Structure 1
Amino acid sequence: MATTNNGAPNTLGSIRGSNISFKNKDTENNSKIDLSDLEKDFSVLTEKNENPFPTEVFPKDLQAIIYHAHNNYQFSIDYLGAGCLSAMSAAIGISYKVEVLQGWLEKCNLFMVIVGRTGDAKSHALNFCFKPIQKREKALFQKYEQEMRDYERSLGGDQEKVEKPFLERLLINDSTPEALIQAHSNNKRSLCIYMDELHGWIKNFNRYNSSGEEQTYLTLWSGGVITVDRVSSKSIRLDDPFIGVIGGTQISVLKEFAKGGRSANGFLDRMLFVFPEVQKNIKWSDNKQDEIIMQNYFAIITDLIDLKLNPNNESNIICFEAEAKKFLFDWQNARPENYLFEYERSIEVKLQQYVIRFALILQLVFNICEDKTDKEIQLFAVKGGIKLFEYFYFNAIKVRDETIKKNYNESLSELQRTILDDLPSNSSFSTADAIKIACIIVNGKPRISERQVKTYLKDRKLFKKVSHGFYQKIQ
């Protein structure tokens, strides 16, 4: 935390005292112009972005930080929004879990991949978002160095032997399973794999046939128990692992993420891809950083890191309030049951689980920013989680388009053939016509969703675009 002139520690509230007060427009209605809303409206009007990152799900203080970094450094809002989300996840760790149903506890770890071209400032944007955690890591390393000096002095003396210290940390960039699990056994609250380029992480998977590295990460994503036996050292058991992943990759490397069966075993669908629709070349500038806004961000992440476990040294359990839980369950129950492509089903299922994780993060960060102590996840957090679901679903489909090479020697699915047969064969048809035909009601529900129809129409092996919004089947 920052300190005041008299040396007293600042709380998040006291730091904000000299700053513009960014209140949640859902909780306060006044005539003041909100700068974050103006920034959002401006980007919508000036950029043809079909899938903008939903910054509105964050508290106003956090939105101000994102737009400040975007305006000052021209970092992509997508990179900043997703980077902040990942940093908050890493800061929270296992301090809180959400109880969805009796016996179903969900953590908030995220596997995030930042996609872009060379020179899109992916690493710089992530460095900005993780700077408060890097500052904490520096302090922890200094503490470790002092403890090691004390330990080494104790080895040659007569005093009682001091236990060898270990390095406390929140981030790790050595992604070998051995290094990861050893580090996590010493840092049980959380650990996040943080790498500039995730290509190396993926490339090393299963470099030894018996390593089972990919399966280990599938288990870590789910938060399941991990036991590692080594001949040369003691066995390690992680009963409650919390591993996050964050890093960048280039568009041309995306196919590596789908190799080795990762597109079929659910691994690819556990990744949250950040793939901006709009990406501009970075222009250098000497704009000055707003220190108050940066202090606010450091305070938010620091407060999340400092969230305590319960008196039994276990995770605090938070539940959904009744209205939020009903909304979430109604939304999930109304999701489509039939899919044109099997990968859509797998993406859908994993991202539904992410909605719960997003809601937990959003609730905790709102509690900190607005000085609340809500003991339940509220409706706004669920709705924010669903907005993030929509954003990441769009990107997941976009990544599949990049990575999947469709094999048209194989038969289409029965549903694909049926819809293809139902569409006009001798004339062009509009997107609206296709939606009307494809989305007929079957057993009380649309046969497929409107979004699925639009995805289907992009298949240039089946349809050609004759004009804006009009298509024709390729005979």
Structure 2
Amino acid sequence: MNYNNSARYRRTPQRPECGLHEDEPVIPQSKLQKEVPSFPLSVFPTAIRNIVETLVEFEHFNVNFIAASMFTTFAAAMGNRWTVRFSATWVERPIMYVALVGYPSCGKTPLLRLALSPLLNLDHEYDREYCAKLKAYKQWGAKSPKERAALSLPEEMERPRRRCHVVVDATIEALIGAMRDNPQGVILYSDELESLFANFNRYNSSDESYFLSAFSGTPFKYIRKSADEHIFLPNPYCSIFGSTQPGRLAKQFGGERVVNGFSSRFLKVYPDITDMPTWGTERMPDGVMEQWERIIRKVVTFDFKGKEQPMELTFSLEAHRKLCQWKESVNNAI
């Protein structure tokens, strides 16, 4: 299947006005027009690759957007339950900060929601379960000790907590509560990253610093004196997933955010889109998104036979060698 767009509509790469490049020499246009690499679908198992290719063929989604969206959702479904060991002292979790970059109406928002739909559906089920438990808790709280004894109700009852996988444009305080209630981890979803970044430092001057540390899964302690609440997260997992537009890159990821490493933490999916998505007349085969739902649910509910510790994966010698070669090539390029 050919995903390359026609060169007839190829746009000239935009250069940010400030922030990302300072005192940059003028580069000849012939050197700027290099082919933008596409997402390597070969990294996916056959089942997921087939879903991506079907969505590209019948829904006319951009292959890079949909592949990266599913990759990020899969990582969020894994959460804290899997780790990978790079070396004797370095163990990593699949925490990802991802930004889809494209012009308005290029098909970013539908893909975000489509990829996250299995986790959102699970959250809907959790919410119904939470509401039922909360109702029972309130009924219990309205009864006297004698009435509870007569009805064989427990003497003590803990208020239920609302579990979720997807947090939408939340404050740091709400995000920490969500991670406490779901130790497996959460993904912070922001349709427009501009709204998320605009809230940075609005309530607390350390919001951006928190996300700098959270990318590495650094243990976190939160104390809210007003409610006498102490929360300790030994293994916080929070991915970030959203979209933005090319003209916002310099403001959102330039300047100080280049210096402090915030920009580098984001994987920016910025394909060279020359044609806006079209509306096809052919109907997508049945069961495609149901298959995606089954895959993500299986990852989320994978049974570790009662083991509380995450499953640690290791690299084969060949895979580790390739990773080291890639890292060396990146360092040399920098």
1:59-138 superposed matches below 5 A: 59-138=45-124
Q: Is this contact kept in 2: 1:95–1:189, CA < 8 A?
A: yes
- The yes-or-no answer on 1:221 pairing with 2:184 is no
CA–CA distance in structure 1, aligned partners of residues 321 and 130 of structure 2: 47
Q: Give the secondary structure class of the aligned counterpart of 1:232.
A: helix
Unaligned runs of 5+ in 1: 1-38, 340-344, 346-475
For 1:289, the aligned partner's letter is M
* Bigger mean CA offset, 263-272 vs 145-154: 145-154
Distance of aligned partners of 1:200 and 1:150 in 2 relative to their CA distance in 1, 3 Å threshold? same
CA–CA distance in structure 2, aligned partners of residues 153 and 289 of structure 1: 48
CA–CA distance in structure 2, aligned partners of residues 260 and 206 of structure 1: 17
**Counterpart of 1:400?**
none
Identity of aligned residues (%): 24
CA–CA distance in structure 1, aligned partners of residues 248 and 303 of structure 2: 40
Distance of aligned partners of 1:277 and 1:308 in 2 relative to their CA distance in 1, 3 Å threshold? same
Give 1:222 shift.
0.6
After superposition, the C-alpha distances for 1:187-215 in whole angstroms (9 at most, x for unaligned) are 1101000111110111222235x521111
CA–CA distance in structure 2, aligned partners of residues 220 and 194 of structure 1: 15
Distance of aligned partners of 1:120 and 1:330 in 2 relative to their CA distance in 1, 3 Å threshold? closer
**Counterpart of 1:238?**
233
Distance of aligned partners of 1:260 and 1:147 in 2 relative to their CA distance in 1, 3 Å threshold? farther
Higher RCO (CA-CA < 8 Å; seq separation 6+): 2
**Counterpart of 1:199?**
194
Give 1:286 shift.
4.8
For 1:323, the aligned partner's letter is E
After superposition, the C-alpha distances for 1:11-32 in whole angstroms (9 at most, x for unaligned) are xxxxxxxxxxxxxxxxxxxxxx
Q: Is this contact kept in 2: 1:92–1:305, CA < 8 A?
A: yes
Q: Give the secondary structure class of the aligned counterpart of 1:290.
A: coil
After superposition, the C-alpha distances for 1:377-415 in whole angstroms (9 at most, x for unaligned) are xxxxxxxxxxxxxxxxxxxxxxxxxxxxxxxxxxxxxxx
**Counterpart of 2:132?**
146
CA–CA distance in structure 1, aligned partners of residues 142 and 5 of structure 2: 70
Which of the pair has more CA radius of gyration?
A: 1
CA–CA distance in structure 1, aligned partners of residues 6 and 255 of structure 2: 41
Unaligned runs of 5+ in 2: 11-34
Q: Give the secondary structure class of the aligned counterpart of 1:105.
A: strand
- The yes-or-no answer on 1:55 pairing with 2:41 is yes
What is the RMSD of the two structures over their aligned residues, measured on CA atoms?
Answer: 2.1
CA–CA distance in structure 2, aligned partners of residues 332 and 116 of structure 1: 28
Q: Is this contact kept in 1: 2:60–2:278, CA < 8 A?
A: yes
Give 1:142 shift.
1.3
Q: Give the secondary structure class of the aligned counterpart of 1:262.
A: helix
**Counterpart of 1:295?**
290
Give 1:44 shift.
4.1
1:29-428 superposed matches below 5 A: 39=1, 42-44=2-4, 50-157=36-143, 158=148, 159-160=153-154, 161-208=156-203, 211-233=205-227, 234-259=229-254, 261-309=256-304, 311-333=306-328, 335-337=330-332, 345=334
After superposition, the C-alpha distances for 1:216-273 in whole angstroms (9 at most, x for unaligned) are 0011101111111221121211110111000111122212213561111000010000
After superposition, the C-alpha distances for 1:121-141 in whole angstroms (9 at most, x for unaligned) are 211011111111122111111
Q: Is this contact kept in 2: 1:114–1:247, CA < 8 A?
A: yes
Give 1:332 shift.
3.0
For 2:248, the aligned partner's letter is V
For 1:200, the aligned partner's letter is S
CA–CA distance in structure 2, aligned partners of residues 231 and 259 of structure 1: 35
Q: Give the secondary structure class of the aligned counterpart of 1:222.
A: coil
Q: Is this contact kept in 1: 2:169–2:195, CA < 8 A?
A: no
Q: Is this contact kept in 1: 2:60–2:280, CA < 8 A?
A: no
Give 1:291 shift.
2.2
Distance of aligned partners of 1:144 and 1:260 in 2 relative to their CA distance in 1, 3 Å threshold? farther
CA–CA distance in structure 2, aligned partners of residues 309 and 214 of structure 1: 35
Q: Is this contact kept in 1: 2:6–2:274, CA < 8 A?
A: no
For 1:304, the aligned partner's letter is V
Give 1:328 shift.
2.3
For 2:162, the aligned partner's letter is L
Q: Give TM-score scaled by structure 1 length.
A: 0.59
Q: Give the secondary structure class of the aligned counterpart of 1:193.
A: strand
Q: Give the secondary structure class of the aligned counterpart of 1:167.
A: coil
For 1:138, the aligned partner's letter is H
Give 1:334 shift.
5.3
CA–CA distance in structure 2, aligned partners of residues 192 and 133 of structure 1: 10
Distance of aligned partners of 1:216 and 1:296 in 2 relative to their CA distance in 1, 3 Å threshold? same
Give 1:315 shift.
0.9
CA–CA distance in structure 1, aligned partners of residues 318 and 104 of structure 2: 45
CA–CA distance in structure 2, aligned partners of residues 281 and 275 of structure 1: 14
Q: Is this contact kept in 2: 1:229–1:235, CA < 8 A?
A: yes
Give 1:336 shift.
4.1
Give 1:298 shift.
1.6
After superposition, the C-alpha distances for 1:128-180 in whole angstroms (9 at most, x for unaligned) are 11111122111111111111111111112323242111111100013311110
Q: Is this contact kept in 2: 1:95–1:307, CA < 8 A?
A: no
Give 1:43 shift.
2.3
